Structure 1
Amino acid sequence: MTKITAALVKELRERTGSGMMECKKALVETGGDIEAAIEQMRKSGLAKADKKSDRTAAEGQIAIERSDDGKRAVIVEVNSETDFVAKNEDFQGFVGKVAKQALASGAQTVEALLAAPIEAGGPSIEEARRELVAKLGENINIRRLMRFETETGKVSHYLHGNRIGVVVEVEDGSDELGKDLAMHVAASKPHCVSEEDVSADALEKERAIFTAQAEDSGKPANIIEKMVEGRLRKFLQEITLLGQPFVKDPDQSVGELLRQEGAKVVRFVRFEVGEGIEKAEADFAEEVMAQVRGD
């Protein structure tokens, strides 16, 4: 049996990132065999990670990777339970590697991405994720990704901090225009590119709401019809990228800007950290006790 020295504990801590007591315990249990201790800690950590998999993760980070020629890009959202972990260097390093691999691997889905190696010769992204859960003590989840590939246009992107990310595919436009459009989408949250992208069901739903509101005015039917059509036009301007006033020059719409530049937006995506995730009300005292108990 190898003597459990402070130097051995220090080496194990540096290699695993785990706490001193956990490292010492693993070394005692494996008779000072550091490789066996690492394997044991990995297995133990993965088991802990599985227990955390049902906990809500609504904080985190958006990351974007783009190819040098501007023809390919990918945007990913990686979630953690708290903003504290989202700012952790290990978490941010993991997110960066995930985004780079998402672009390099050609993965179209989260499932395919999780199966890819996190780096050459390394474990899969899923294995690395579970090990990070064990290390940081929070559920960590790769929630979604979207890939852009174009032959005729270019993809531009914008990150607002690391909480909002936008990728825009533009044809016949400059890099500066593409970035301006991505910034606009980040700020103005359009639902789609143009009126043609709005479904008939969505239009009918809004028409019914506007009609009910207008009928309460007691005005004649022909006036009500004009009121409804006017409100529908305003609704479409508000939710479509082409109809919105351009953030850098509100005197012109994005559609007018694109006509002026001779450019076309093919598609865009906007990710915001945690959007659509229902957050549970946190009991701070219980969270602290859970950390103490190692739950």
Structure 2
Amino acid sequence: MTEVSAKEVSDLRKETGAGMMDVKKALIEAGGDRDKAKEILMVKGLAAAKKREGRETQTGTIGHYLHYQTERPVVGCLVELRCETDFVAKGDEFQAAARDLAMHLAAARPRYVRREDVPDDAIEEAKRLFAAQAIEAGKPPEVAEKMVDGKMGGFYKDTVLLEQQFVNPEKFDGTVEAMLEALTARLGEKVTVGSIARVALGEE
């Protein structure tokens, strides 16, 4: 059987957010190959999340964060983090995740939770802007169209919470969506974000 060190387990656990025993088993199964172990953990996490897709998330908590400047709050963020039971909602890991997501909001400034939440007019406005930029740069129409498609991917990463890279890679290295999937796998029940709010002094 492949021997894995405590440091290998600790490093991969920090990177993936998976449980210690799950990480150790994945490393052993992968023969010590870190990348393969990550794939194993991802597949297991996605499978666990898939099983819970149909479940209702009717309880949870509100994660909150205030960013201070010269001893006064200038940015305030709220995240509605949902789960299935009060037992999980009151747990330290769930509460910490809600606060971490609120802090992410302060730094990353997402406007929507998921891609389908983005209004059609906001999408069309972004496409028009990117098309105008491509044409102004002298690109032919067919190239401009491909450039618009590429830039829209960046638009969603800038504005959609689930598609953003989590701002604290030391806690989780991946997208917010992957972070929620890992949390779902660890806690044993579905975890979702309901709504978000960010208020900043002087911003409209």
Q: State the TM bucket, normalised to the shorter chain.
A: 0.5 to 0.7
**1:165 counterpart residue number:** none
Match for 2:97 among 94, 103, 117?
Answer: 94
TM-score (norm 1): 0.44
Q: Answer whether contact 1:97 1:119 (CA < 8 A) is retained.
A: no
The one of 183, 186, 197 equivalent to 1:132 is: 183
Contact 1:133 1:140 in 2 (8 A): yes
Change beyond 3 A, Cα 1:120–1:32: closer
Cα separation, 2, equivalents of 1:19 and 1:73: 34
Q: How big is each residue's C-alpha offset from its partner over 1:226-284, in whole Å with a ceiling of 9 and x where there is no partner?
A: xxxxxxxxxxxxxxxxxxxxxxxxxxxxxxxxxxxxxxxxxxxxxxxxxxxxxxxxxxx
Within the alignment, does 1:36 sit opposite 2:36 as a pair? Answer: yes
The answer to whether structure 1 residue 114 and structure 2 residue 165 are counterparts is no
Residue aligned with 1:36, SS: helix
Aligned to 1:81: 84
Higher relative contact order at CA 8 Å, sep ≥6: structure 1 or structure 2?
Answer: 2
2:2 alignment counterpart: 4
Give the distance between the partners of 1:33 and 1:125, measured in 2 at CA.
25
Question: 1:142 deviation in Å?
Answer: 0.6
Letter in 2 for 1:74: C
CA distance in 2, matches of 1:133, 1:41: 13
**Equivalent position of 1:46 in the other structure:** 46
Q: Choose 1 or 2 for highest CA Rg.
A: 1
Structure 2: which 5+ residue stretches go unaligned? 115-159
CA positional deviation for 1:14? 7.4
Superposition map of 1:192-207 within 5 A = none
| Counterpart amino acid of residue 143 in structure 1 | G
- Give the count of matched residue pairs: 148
Looking at structure 2, the residues matched to 35 and 12 of structure 1 have their Cα atoms a distance apart, in angstroms, of 13
Deviation string, structure 1 residues 41-91 (Cα, Å, up to 9, x no partner): 122212321221221112211122223243432211101111222233322
Q: Is the 8 A contact 2:107 2:167 kept in 1?
A: no
Q: Give, in angstroms, the shift of residue 104 of structure 1.
A: 1.7
Where 2:178 maps in the other structure, the secondary structure is helix
State the percentage of identical aligned residues: 30
Name structure 1 gaps, 5 residues minimum.
Answer: 153-295
Q: How does 1:168-207 map to 2 (within 5 A)?
A: none
Aligned-pair Cα RMSD in Å: 2.8
SS of the residue corresponding to residue 93 of structure 2 reads: helix
How far apart are the structure 2 equivalents of 1:35 and 1:70?
A: 42
Q: Which residue of 1 aligns with 2:195?
A: 144
Aligned AA for 1:12?
V
Post-superposition Cα deviations, 1:14-47, rounded to whole Å, max 9, x if no partner, equal: 7434363x45653443223344223311222123
Counterpart in the other structure of 1:18: 19
Distance between the aligned counterparts of 2:7 and 2:201, measured in 1? 50
Task: Encode CA deviations 1:209-238: one digit per residue, 9 max, x unaligned.
Answer: xxxxxxxxxxxxxxxxxxxxxxxxxxxxxx
1:149 is aligned with what amino acid? A
Letter in structure 1 aligned against 2:19: S
| CA shift for structure 1 position 116 | 2.1
Partner of 1:76, secondary structure, is strand
Q: TM-score, normalised by structure 2?
A: 0.61
Amino acid at match of 2:83: S
Change (3 A) 1:27 1:120: closer
Higher helix fraction: Structure 1 or Structure 2? 2
Give 1:138 deviation, angstroms: 0.7
The range that moved more, 113-122 or 53-62, is 113-122
Change (3 A) 1:67 1:43: same
Which residue does 1:272 correspond to in 2? Answer: none
Do the aligned partners of residues 44 and 9 (structure 1) sit closer, same or farther apart at CA in structure 2, a change above 3 Å counting? farther
